[in-house]
Amino acid sequence: MNEQKIINFYLANGEYGCFSNFSRHHIYLKDKVWQTSEHYFQAQKFEGTNFEEKVRLAPTPKEAANLGRNRKFPLRKDWEEKKDDIMREALRAKFTQNKDLKKILLETGDAELVEHTANDNYWGDGGDGSGKNMLGKLLMEVREELRKEF
């Protein structure tokens, strides 16, 4: 029986750390350079505000994430409907603009990609497989798109 390979990732400095939004790979979107996909994703919660730029300029992805979770600044009204599309956009940019990352993603073949963490039930697997693993699912979607380019 052919068992599907599962690739777990989480920490930016761990194996397959480039799949983490905290990995130090710049992306270029909206006529700007973003230090990480995390910077872009968190900033889009405040699109069109001064706070968007503050998040973009955060010194680390952790700080960008903390700013993005700050509720002193109101989230855009359509955030829940748009967040998956924004993450997909960031991932597409990351894996098309960084050729070394594109190669790593494609080399995962048909493996299931899982953000393995108890810290997140939406983007990750919740640590026990009960989470949605949306980051893993979107990475697999982008991988499929990249395959079709060849």
Q: How far is CA 115 from the centre of its chain?
A: 10
* pLDDT value at residue 7: 98
* pLDDT value at residue 147: 96
Query: Nearest to residue 15, comparing CAs of 26, 6, 27, 28?
Result: 6
* pLDDT value at residue 103: 97
* pLDDT value at residue 34: 98
Contact 8, 124 (CB under 8 A): no
* pLDDT value at residue 10: 97
* pLDDT value at residue 4: 80
**Which residues does the chain have with pLDDT short of 50?**
1
* pLDDT value at residue 83: 98
* pLDDT value at residue 114: 98
